Amino acid sequence: MQTVPQMERLLSDATKSIMCCPHCKEIVPCPVVKSEGNKQFIKHKDIQFRERKRACSACLQVFKTTECDYKSLEELILKRDEVQKLLQENNKLKRKIHAAQEHLSILQNRLSE
Ligand SMILES: [Zn+2]
Protein backbone atom coordinates (compact mmCIF):
# COMPACT_ATOMS: atom_id res chain seq x y z
CA MET A 1 0.00 0.00 0.00
CA GLN A 2 1.24 3.49 -0.87
CA THR A 3 1.51 6.30 1.65
CA VAL A 4 -0.29 9.57 0.91
CA PRO A 5 2.97 11.51 0.10
CA GLN A 6 4.06 8.66 -2.18
CA MET A 7 0.67 8.76 -3.88
CA GLU A 8 0.85 12.57 -4.34
CA ARG A 9 4.27 12.19 -5.98
CA LEU A 10 2.98 9.41 -8.21
CA LEU A 11 -0.08 11.43 -9.24
CA SER A 12 2.17 14.21 -10.47
CA ASP A 13 3.89 11.76 -12.83
CA ALA A 14 3.02 11.75 -16.49
CA THR A 15 2.34 8.00 -16.26
CA LYS A 16 -0.97 8.31 -14.39
CA SER A 17 -3.99 6.77 -16.05
CA ILE A 18 -7.67 6.83 -15.24
CA MET A 19 -8.74 3.25 -14.50
CA CYS A 20 -11.37 1.26 -12.67
CA CYS A 21 -9.80 0.00 -9.44
CA PRO A 22 -10.44 -3.76 -9.00
CA HIS A 23 -10.62 -3.27 -5.21
CA CYS A 24 -12.91 -0.25 -4.65
CA LYS A 25 -14.37 -0.08 -8.23
CA GLU A 26 -13.78 3.69 -8.36
CA ILE A 27 -12.73 5.14 -11.72
CA VAL A 28 -9.80 7.30 -10.66
CA PRO A 29 -6.14 7.94 -11.54
CA CYS A 30 -4.13 4.79 -10.87
CA PRO A 31 -0.50 5.68 -11.53
CA VAL A 32 2.17 3.12 -12.29
CA VAL A 33 4.33 2.38 -9.24
CA LYS A 34 6.43 -0.31 -10.92
CA SER A 35 6.80 -1.43 -14.51
CA GLU A 36 8.25 -4.70 -15.69
CA GLY A 37 9.74 -5.21 -19.12
CA ASN A 38 8.14 -7.35 -21.76
CA LYS A 39 7.27 -10.88 -20.65
CA GLN A 40 5.88 -13.89 -22.44
CA PHE A 41 4.13 -17.06 -21.44
CA ILE A 42 6.61 -19.94 -21.59
CA LYS A 43 4.10 -22.31 -23.19
CA HIS A 44 2.83 -19.63 -25.58
CA LYS A 45 5.77 -17.67 -26.87
CA ASP A 46 3.52 -15.72 -29.25
CA ILE A 47 1.71 -14.11 -26.27
CA GLN A 48 3.75 -11.20 -25.00
CA PHE A 49 2.72 -8.59 -22.49
CA ARG A 50 4.01 -5.81 -20.30
CA GLU A 51 3.20 -5.93 -16.60
CA ARG A 52 2.60 -2.85 -14.46
CA LYS A 53 1.91 -2.43 -10.79
CA ARG A 54 -0.50 0.44 -10.15
CA ALA A 55 -1.82 2.16 -7.04
CA CYS A 56 -5.41 3.39 -6.74
CA SER A 57 -5.61 7.06 -5.75
CA ALA A 58 -8.95 6.43 -3.97
CA CYS A 59 -8.23 3.41 -1.75
CA LEU A 60 -4.40 3.36 -2.11
CA GLN A 61 -4.37 -0.39 -2.79
CA VAL A 62 -1.95 -1.78 -5.35
CA PHE A 63 -2.91 -4.03 -8.25
CA LYS A 64 -1.29 -5.41 -11.39
CA THR A 65 -2.28 -4.68 -14.95
CA THR A 66 -0.92 -6.05 -18.20
CA GLU A 67 -0.63 -4.44 -21.56
CA CYS A 68 -0.88 -6.77 -24.52
CA ASP A 69 -1.71 -6.51 -28.19
CA TYR A 70 -5.41 -6.28 -29.03
CA LYS A 71 -5.39 -9.55 -31.00
CA SER A 72 -4.46 -11.45 -27.81
CA LEU A 73 -7.37 -9.86 -25.97
CA GLU A 74 -9.79 -10.81 -28.77
CA GLU A 75 -8.49 -14.39 -28.63
CA LEU A 76 -9.00 -14.46 -24.85
CA ILE A 77 -12.61 -13.28 -25.25
CA LEU A 78 -13.25 -15.91 -27.94
CA LYS A 79 -11.72 -18.68 -25.78
CA ARG A 80 -13.77 -17.59 -22.77
CA ASP A 81 -16.96 -17.86 -24.87
CA GLU A 82 -15.88 -21.34 -26.04
CA VAL A 83 -15.22 -22.45 -22.45
CA GLN A 84 -18.68 -21.20 -21.41
CA LYS A 85 -20.29 -23.29 -24.18
CA LEU A 86 -18.28 -26.36 -23.13
CA LEU A 87 -19.31 -25.89 -19.49
CA GLN A 88 -22.99 -25.61 -20.49
CA GLU A 89 -22.70 -28.76 -22.62
CA ASN A 90 -20.94 -30.51 -19.73
CA ASN A 91 -23.80 -29.58 -17.37
CA LYS A 92 -26.40 -30.92 -19.86
CA LEU A 93 -24.47 -34.22 -20.11
CA LYS A 94 -24.22 -34.48 -16.31
CA ARG A 95 -28.01 -34.06 -16.00
CA LYS A 96 -28.57 -36.76 -18.66
CA ILE A 97 -26.16 -39.16 -16.91
CA HIS A 98 -27.89 -38.50 -13.58
CA ALA A 99 -31.32 -39.21 -15.15
CA ALA A 100 -30.00 -42.40 -16.79
CA GLN A 101 -28.55 -43.56 -13.45
CA GLU A 102 -31.92 -43.03 -11.77
CA HIS A 103 -33.70 -45.05 -14.50
CA LEU A 104 -31.10 -47.80 -14.16
CA SER A 105 -31.57 -47.88 -10.40
CA ILE A 106 -35.38 -48.21 -10.84
CA LEU A 107 -34.92 -51.06 -13.32
CA GLN A 108 -32.48 -52.84 -11.00
CA ASN A 109 -34.98 -52.57 -8.10
CA ARG A 110 -37.77 -53.99 -10.24
CA LEU A 111 -35.61 -56.91 -11.36
CA SER A 112 -34.68 -57.77 -7.79
CA GLU A 113 -38.36 -57.86 -6.64
ZN1 LIG B 1 -9.33 1.58 -5.22
- Judge if 57 and 80 occupy the same domain: no
What is the 15 CA–ligand 1 centroid distance (Å)?
A: 17
Give the Å distance between the CA of 27 and the centre of ligand 1: 8
Quote the ligand 1 centre to 26 CA distance (angstroms).
6
- Same domain assignment for residues 19 and 57: yes
User: How far apart are the CA of 5 and the centre of ligand 1, in A?
Assistant: 17
Same domain, 83 and 43: no
- Are 38 and 86 within one domain? no
Same domain, 74 and 39: no
Q: Tell me: pLDDT of 14 over 60.
A: no
- Cα of 65 vs centre of ligand 1, distance in Å, is 14
Please give the pLDDT value at position 85.
Answer: 98
Give 63: exposed, middle or buried? Use CB within 10 Å, 0-12, 13-18, 19+: middle
| Domain housing 93 | 69-113
| Residue 11, pLDDT above cutoff 70 | no
Total domains in the fold of the chain: 2
Question: Which pLDDT does position 13 carry in this prediction?
Answer: 61
Q: Are residues 6 and 61 in the same domain?
A: yes
Segment 74-94 mean pLDDT:
96
Residues 37 and 91 in one domain: no
